[in-house]
A = this chain, B = another copy of it.
Amino acid sequence: MNTYTKRGVHFAETSDFLNCSSVTLPKIPRYRAIADALINDIVKKKFSVGSALPAEAELCEQLKVSRHTVREGLRILEESGLIVRRQGSGSVVISDKPPVRYRQVVDSIEDLHQYGKESRLQLLKANETPVSQVMAARLGCASGTFCIELQALRSERGEHGEAGRPFALTHLYFPPQTPGRREKLLNPSSALPVLLALLDSRTLGRIEQTFEAVALDAVTAAQLNVTKNSPSLRASRTYYDRKGKLIAVAISLHRSDMFRYTTILKHESS
């Protein structure tokens, strides 16, 4: 195949099976056909990951279509995560995997936690403790420094808003905070609003959650009103803001008979 280099990046000629412009395809729009051809070229390694696609103007010429049509096609590749487009620079291939993906969409934090509106969060404790070695690693602070630890209980909501049966006990750990926020987090009356603000969708950028089954220790079992060694679903979540900075680590233990976690994954429509 014909290849050449321009402005420091490697180029290649596009697939030319589109140039048979006399053939009128049944229903597929031109921009879709262009996208398919380019995707085909990428998965067939005619454009390797890291190399640039021909410029839009060049594609127009090669494919004998308007720039609008080319851009519409490139948009598909961009949305599929195959290329990135940068003004002044060009379009660069960033992946050669065909766009087969499944995704779980979570519309809100409440959605993520799946506790539902029929539950009630109650703050049990708020204190400052020296972090253990394991937690230090997870919180990204030196072991021995003081972190803020909150303990909260989530219960069914009764008819009149009072707490019903408890079903989840959560330990929350915060890395060292600014003095103002530290005060608020340690004060039981102001901690909950601050907590909700910190874990709000406007601040959150990424959440990592891990599920495992554990046997409950005696203390936690008592708090959840079950017998010692009952099986429990443990959800460990690490919250990061949009810049990637760690906000908090939360570890929740659930009564297995009252809580389960469901996700729905859908194939991305092409």
A binding-site residues for B, Cβ under 8 Å: 97, 100-108, 112, 201-202, 204-215, 229-234, 242, 254, 256, 259-267
Contacts and interface: CB of A to CB of B under 8 A. Distances in A.
A-side binding surface: helix, strand, loop or mixed?
A: strand
Given A210-B262, A212-B260, A107 B112 contact: no
Contacts of A206: 264-267
B102 A103 contact: no
Contacts of A100: 107-108, 201-202
A36 to B, nearest CB: 16
A208 B262 contact: yes
Nearest to A200: B100
Nearest to A79: B79
Contact of A262 (B107, B209, B262): B209
A104 B107 contact: no
Contacts of A208: 262-265
Given A262-B208, A265-B209, A256 B103 contact: no
Contact of A101 (B106, B202, B231, B233): B106
